[in-house]
Amino acid sequence: MSDPKKNKWLKVFSQSGHAAVRLICFPYAGGSAQVFKNWAKWLPKSIELCALQYPGRGSRFTEPAITDMTEMLDALEANLTGVLDKPFVFFGHSLGAGIAFDLTRRLEKKGFEPKYLIVSGRNAPHVEVDREEVHSLPDPEFQAKLAEMNGTPQEVLDHPELMELMLPLLRADFTLSETAEFDKETKVNCPMAAFGGLKDEDVPEEGIEGWGKYSDNFKYHMLPGDHFFLAAEQSEEALLRGIVGYITK
């Protein structure tokens, strides 16, 4: 098995020889591994914190972003199996939830089963919600939608040069998320939990509860906040308590 620190797909934020479980986090659209960096201070030493670094950001800034879900899953399957040498948990938010879910189903066929799959901020695949697709909107409308979603800092939205750099990456990630076609029937074998934001207009409670269709061992939780509730201090703490609770069961 390979060292996670030598895997370009991963950033390792806490590592201990005593860690019993490896928590691997999947970022949302436009996000990098760094969005999970601060979680290290909340987690016990028994949990090793890693986060995916997708192409097109951070240390992989010069690589083209992936816009096709099959290509993304093929790459992850090829590059992550070497670090699944200890019990592991997948956590994904929004786009990351969809990737983590489908990757889990793939890996389970190869004999790699997570201790837990935790999804957040994304509707279950079979739940139909009237939501406007944004990946093909012209730049002004696309930026307006980003501002509505409250996931891009205002100082970035107001900085033309930064937005010129960020827009292709964000559009690629939304294309990946909105054009993915998921199997709406096949369950995962592992236990599963889902988290949602009470004020998330795009992912209502029924979209979070709907994930129960895909696991025989499932619970869900609704937390204060909008789509990016995981970045709000109160909700982030509650989310992490929940994650740790599932991991240490």
* Higher pLDDT pick, 234 / 118: 118
Please state, in angstroms and rounded to a whole number, the distance separating the CA atoms of residues 189 and 30. 30
* Total count of domains within the chain: 1
- Whether 57 is covered by a domain: the verdict is yes
- Whether 70 is covered by a domain: the verdict is yes
Q: pLDDT tens across 10-30, in order?
A: 999 987 777 899 999 999 988
Burial 212-233 (b: 16+ CB within 10 A, else e): eebbeebebebbebbbbbbbbe
Q: Which domain CATH number covers 56?
A: 3.40.50.1820
- Whether 120 is covered by a domain: the verdict is yes
- Whether 11 is covered by a domain: the verdict is yes
Q: pLDDT tens across 139-191, in order?
A: 778 787 777 776 666 766 776 777 777 888 889 998 998 888 888 999 999 99
Domain range for residue 11? 4-130+184-247
- Whether 205 is covered by a domain: the verdict is yes
Q: pLDDT tens across 107-128, in order?
A: 999 999 999 999 999 999 999 8
- Whether 32 is covered by a domain: the verdict is yes
Strands across the sheet containing 10-14: 10-14, 47-52, 21-26, 88-93, 116-120, 192-197, 218-223
- Whether 153 is covered by a domain: the verdict is no
Confidence of residue 130 (pLDDT cuts 50, 70, 90): low
Predicted TM-score of the model (pTM) = 0.92
- Whether 243 is covered by a domain: the verdict is yes
* Higher pLDDT pick, 215 / 228: 215
Q: pLDDT tens across 80-115, in order?
A: 999 999 999 999 999 999 999 999 999 999 999 999
* Residue numbers annotated as active site: 94
